[in-house]
Amino acid sequence: MAALLKRAGKAVLRVAPLHAAAMRAAAARGNGLAVLYHRVTADDAAPTGELVPSIPRRLLRRQLEVLGEVGEVVPLEQLRAPAVDRRRPRFGLSFDDDYRSHSEQVLPILQGLGVTGTFFLSGRSLHGLGAYWFESLERLVAEQGLEHTRRRLGVDAATASDLAALCERSPWLQRLVSTAVDLAPRHLRAPQITELAEAGMAVGFHTLRHRRLVDLDGEGLRLALVDGRQALEGAIGRRVDLLAYPHGKADARVAAAARTAGYRMAWTGWPRPVRSADDPFLLGRWEPGPLQTDAFVAALAVRVNRAAPP
């Protein structure tokens, strides 16, 4: 697998001695890193409002090639297993939300490189649900502008990101955004979800409604962790026992609820390494975004070594 990734590189990667030493140090300590992606666009796609993190297809492929050159790409859940080779750090790949680009853009890249990824899905199309609220907000800001959108929602926000942060904490604002724009979702449908599983990819749950779990009470939290899970299991033909918390937010109470709901592991959005001794229900992930090769290597060297506080 690693050899295939190395051969896929168009040029030999030149890693600065400091960064190479940092990679070796991380591997020696048994550190791994879960890498997170959301939407992947065609290389010639027009830019959007970028509230939803995205990366061009060509750049995704190059980042994955880099991972295979400086370390080893393994299935996500293997990051907690004790490392056998302490010379090269391990990296796991994850992809969140129900974007159709998972099937159209990402899957061919993973298959071409001979690696597997874990897709954390909500399964919204299985229930006839529309776009995620943040997709609608992105369209609204792109079409009507930040100032008009801010006034329409009746909130004060200096930037689109600030506006998204306010909506993230308010189900009422999320509903208002979703009804303010007519956006047809381009989400994975049942055959495409099945295709991911049949291609050897892991499928985990991202909750159907994508609510911040830390804001839910006991019964609301319990329901969020199971509502829609069975339909997703039906689509892939096997049990779903991996979880990614919506918006990357979790705490000890949410982690305990995930354990009770029968999950084996769960991932946050905390950008820190994964170690075998970590709580399996509070694992970290890092989203690099559209970093070019040199900046990507430098950031990897930092993130695979440095634990960010929750």
Per-residue pLDDT tens digits for 207-236: 999 999 999 999 999 999 999 999 999 999
Nearest CA to 5 out of 90, 82, 67, 88 is that of 67
pLDDT for 9 beyond 60: no
Read off the pLDDT of residues 64-118 as tens digits, 9 standing for 90 and up.
999 999 999 999 999 999 888 888 999 999 999 999 999 999 999 999 999 999 9
Are 270 and 245 a contacting pair, CB within 8 Å?
A: no
pLDDT for 49 beyond 70: no
Q: Which of 18-27, 42-51, 124-133 has the lowest mean pLDDT?
A: 42-51
pLDDT grade for 53, boundaries at 50, 70 and 90? confident
Are 265 and 285 a contacting pair, CB within 8 Å?
A: no
pLDDT of residue 4: 57
Are 259 and 267 a contacting pair, CB within 8 Å?
A: no
User: 36: Cβ–Cβ under 8 A, 6 or more apart, which residues?
Assistant: 94, 95, 96, 269, 285, 286, 287
Query: DSSP class of residue 286?
Result: B
pLDDT of residue 51: 82
Q: Give me the percent of the chain exceeding a pLDDT of 70.
A: 93
pLDDT grade for 5, boundaries at 50, 70 and 90? low
pLDDT for 8 beyond 80: no
Q: Give the number of other CB atoms < 10 A from CB of residue 286.
A: 22
pLDDT of residue 14: 80
User: 156: Cβ–Cβ under 8 A, 6 or more apart, which residues?
Assistant: 150
CA–CA distance, 61 with 236 (Å, rounded to integer)? 26
pLDDT grade for 50, boundaries at 50, 70 and 90? low
Torsion angles phi and psi, residue 239, rounded to 5: -70, 145
pLDDT grade for 1, boundaries at 50, 70 and 90? very low
Are 269 and 237 a contacting pair, CB within 8 Å?
A: no
* Per CATH, domain 2-130+188-303 is 3.40.50.720: no
Q: Where are the domains of the chain?
A: 2-130+188-303, 131-184
pLDDT for 300 beyond 60: yes
pLDDT for 47 beyond 80: no
Query: pTM of the prediction?
Result: 0.93
pLDDT grade for 44, boundaries at 50, 70 and 90? confident
pLDDT of residue 16: 85
Read off the pLDDT of residues 126-175 as tens digits, 9 standing for 90 and up.
999 999 999 999 999 999 999 999 999 999 999 999 999 999 999 999 99
DSSP reduced 3-state for 61 = helix
User: Once rounded to an integer, what is the mean pLDDT over residues 9-38?
Assistant: 87
The CA-atom distances, in angstroms, between 207 and each of 6, 75, 175, 266 are 36, 21, 17, 12
